[in-house]
Every structure is written in structure tokens, then in C-alpha cells.
Amino acid sequence: MEMLRDANWVLSVGTFLPLAGVVLLLGVPKANEQMIKMVALLTSIATLAVGIFTLTKFDFDKAGSMQFVAEHEWIPLIKSSYLIGLDGISLPLYILSMVITLLVVIYSLNHVPDPGNPKAFFILMLVLQTGMAGTFIAQDLILFFVFFELVLLPMYFMIGVWGGENRQYASLKFFLYTMFGSALMLVAFLALFFKTGAESFSIPFLVENGGAIARNVQIWIFAGMFVGFAVKVPMFPFHTWLPDAHTQAPTQGSVILAAILLKLGTYGFVRIAIPILPEAAKAWAPYIGGLAVIGIIYGSLGCLAQTDMKRLIAFSSVAHMGFVMLGISTLTSFGMTAAMFGMVAHGLITGMLFFIAGSIKERYHTLEIKRLGGVLKQLPHLGWIFGLCCMASLGLPGLAGFWGEFPAILSAYSPAPGLNETVFRVYMVIAAIGTVFAAAYLLWLFQRVAFGEPKPEFAGAAHGHGDHSHDDHGQGDSHALEDVNKFEWISWTPLLIAIIVFGLMPNLLFKIIDPAVQGVLTGFKG
């Protein structure tokens, strides 16, 4: 069994198996929808099975060091290699990407959005999965960049083809913003390569040698990476693409975007920018923290101004990722561990909120908050699940959201040596005020949507429990509203369990993440 632990095939199989599913789907006739759905489902189940196998073979006592490392020559001309590995930072996100993809596929079995074409839809989803998983295991900057960019096209088409009325505008905005960020990030990677002797793009090599680069040069290289990763997070003021993308994206696109894609940026800071350029990280930290707390307040106020449920949840992501970036900006293991936990918690909770928003839209054909109401009366199961997710999102103790937000706020009290304590304590106070706003907009949303009497236009809709067959676009019987159906129960239950389990037992994640974060911060001189 020792051979299996050291085997270098596990991560490659887990990452590229979805592409095998894509090849199979290409051979399935477009008209055979059942077969298409079955291939996509079995592929995502098989991928998660490989992920669970990886989990069982992962040495949790050595979570701070890279495991399942594989290295092969790839592009010798530019000294880039196929170098992959997994540690306590990337493991939770790697597994989360597999879980979310499977749950989205299950949900899609009964919810393929307009204009249909499940074959193209599932192919894009599987390509997306490879890009997400690959980003979290890549240990070479060029390989990281390839995977980082691979997610761009599937998401562009997912929004642009299956999105809402303004889908073309939203998808183009998403594409242009991300491409702009990526271009600057690539320039920063190349500068890093040449400034470390043009020897290798290997992240471990650059972590060892990046600290030797002159401080002023480090600051400029970090600036390029900062823009690239900040657009992806997205941080204020690079956030404007997110509400549009979320509002127009189909439910599945919104879930994947919220649960995984936003984490690519924050993961980039933790894995690449901070450990490779420690002096620049210190110089930039106060500004990152400042933008993070602006994002928290701005995102929260933006939520209070929204009339569309999906757009409100999108703005809440800007605020929540602000807490994550505040934790990262402290440059302490406490803050960065809280940030990593916050990434996973946000993925679970906000992914669930977008699932719920999608199901509400399917039933009521609107997400206008003023038109909704009385969901608890008409759809009690959906209403209670929505309530639980709102409580988790506002950071109620005992649920996962609490352990992402509050330790991140607390970490600002004592930032890394060399950072201005007073400044970060001001950030801490502002962030704490942001939690009050979060409670305001989430409770307001829940109260408006779930409580009271149904609006007259929906009041006559009978409450049904059965699994009535809706068509793929949610155009079921307009006179009957169905509570949570079996596809929704199957795809939502794991997320709901995880939100509660990680809320009650946060150490399940903390003990994996913390050793790896401490390893990342080894290069920091106090």
C-alpha cells in the first residue's frame, strides 16, 4: 500500500478523467438525452471516487508537505514541466471542486436550462471541472496558467448561451475582465522567471529563490499578480463583472462560479504571490487589507440596494471574499487558515443559496424580491433550507460561515511583524461592522421571500409534494408549485450536511489547512 501513497498517477487521473467523459459524450448522438446525462453522471461519480481514494491515501500527519508529487518533462524549451502535488491548502478545494461538479450534474438531470442542448452543456461542465482541479494541483506557473485559463471559455459559453436576457453583455464583460487580469498575471510570471535566473517555472524553486529579488522589483511583479488574482476573487474595485455574470448565468453556472471559480484568485495569493514574494507581500498587505474591508462594506450596502435575489447573493460574495482577503492580508498562519476555511465555507453556503435561487425562479418565474413572499407557506421544505443557508451566510455560530468570518476578523488584531497594528485593528472594526450589515441584508431577504402571505399572482398555486415531472426548463404546471424534488434533495443534502458538520467540528478542516499554511509562511522574516 505504500506504493499507492507515493503513486504519482492519482492526481493526474482525478484531474483528466472528466476529459475522458468529454470524449465519450462527443460520440453520443445529440438526440439521446438520457445517454448524455448518464455519461456525465457516471464520469463525475468516477472522478469523485478517485478524489475519495486520494483522500484515503493522503497522510494527514504530513498535511504541510506536498504529496502525490508527479514531475514529467513538458516544454523543455521554456523550462516548464508537468509538476503537480497536493497539500493541506489545496486538498479541501480540490475535493470541493469534484463534489460541487457532481452535485451540479445531479441537479442538471432535471434542470437543463434554455435553450436545452444537454450534450454541449455537460461537455462544458466536465471541461470546467478539469480546469478547476488542475489549478489546485499545479506546481508549475505555466501549468497553473493553462489550467487557470481553461475555466474561462466553458464559463463564457455557459453564461453566453444558457444565461438570461443580457447574457451576451455579462459573458463578454466576464471574459474581458478575466483576460485583462490574466495578461498582467502572465507578464508577472515571466518577470519572476527571468529575475530568478530563467531556470525554472517550478513553484517550489521560485519560493526558494524569489525572496532574493530586489524589493522594488518584487513590488512591481506582485502588482501584476495582484491584478490577475484580484479580478478573479473579485476584489473591489475589480468586482463589477461578478453581479452581471451571476445574474445572467444559469443556476449551474452561478453555483460553480460561486463555489469554486472565485477561489482560484484567493488560492493564487496563498500558493504563489505571498510565498514567492514575501517582501512585496508585506508592502502590499495594508493595501490588500484596505481594499478587502472596502469590499466588505461596499458589498453589504450593495446587497441592501438590490431588487433581484440572485444579484443580492452575488453582491454578498463580494463582501464574503472581502473577509477571506482580510485574513490573507494579515500574513499570519491564523489569518490565512481562517481565510482558507472561509473559502470552503463560502463555496458550500453561497453555492447552496444559488441552487435555492434557481429553484425559486423555476417555480415562480421571477427573482424580483418584491414579487416573492410566503415561500414557507407554499414550499415549506424549500423555505426552511433557505433559512438555514441565510443563517450560515451571516455567520451564525454552529454553522460553517462563522469559522470563516470571525477568525479572519480576529486575525486583523495581531498582523504579521512589520505590519502596522493600528491600521489592521481599524480594519478589524470596519469588518466587524460589515457582519452587522450582513445580518441586515440576509434577514431582510429571508423575511421578504419566505414570510408573509404569497403574492396574489401566486396565491392560487397549490402546494404539492410529489415529484411532478417538470420539463427541463421549469415550465411545469403553472397552477401547482412543487416543493423540493428528489433531484434537488440529492444534490443539496451533502452541502447542507457539510455546512452543519464543519460548523460544529471546524477542526476537521483547520488541522489539515494550518500545517500547510505555516509551511507557506516559512519564508517570512519577522
276-295 tens-digit pLDDT? 888 888 888 899 999 999 99
pLDDT in tens, 63-83: 888 888 888 888 878 888 888
What single string gives the DSSP state of each residue in 424-442? HHHHHHHHHHHHHHHHHHH
C-alpha grid cell for residue 487? 433531484
What is the Cβ-side half-sphere exposure of residue 61, based on CA atoms within 13 angstroms? 0
Tell me what pLDDT residue 6 has. Answer: 52
**Contacts of residue 120, Cβ cutoff 8 Å, sequence gap at least 6:** 157, 161
Q: Which parts of the chain sit beneath pLDDT 50?
A: 1-5, 462-479, 525-526
Tell me what pLDDT residue 471 has. Answer: 40
Give the domain range for residue 402.
Answer: 2-466+478-523
Q: Is the peptide bond before 113 cis (omega within 30 degrees of 0)?
A: no
User: Does any domain span residue 472?
Assistant: no
Question: Length of the chain in residues, anyone?
Answer: 526
Quick one: which of 229, 217, 141, 131 has its CA closest to 180? 229
Tell me what pLDDT residue 461 has. Answer: 56
User: Does any domain span residue 418?
Assistant: yes
Classify residue 374 as left (phi > 0), alpha (psi -120 to 50) or beta: left
Tell me what pLDDT residue 372 has. Answer: 81
Pairing of strands 480-482, 462-464: parallel
User: Does any domain span residue 121?
Assistant: yes
Tell me what pLDDT residue 497 has. Answer: 92
User: Does any domain span residue 213?
Assistant: yes
User: Does any domain span residue 238?
Assistant: yes
Tell me what pLDDT residue 204 has. Answer: 86
Domain count, the chain: 1
Tell me what pLDDT residue 291 has. Answer: 92
User: Does any domain span residue 473?
Assistant: no
User: Does any domain span residue 24?
Assistant: yes
Tell me what pLDDT residue 501 has. Answer: 92
What single string gives the DSSP state of each residue in 233-283? TTPTTS-THHHHHHHHS-HHHHHHIIIIIHHHHHHHIIIIIHHH-HHHHHH
User: Does any domain span residue 471?
Assistant: no
pLDDT in tens, 143-200: 999 998 888 888 888 888 887 788 888 888 888 888 888 888 899 999 888 888 878 8
Tell me what pLDDT residue 1 has. Answer: 34
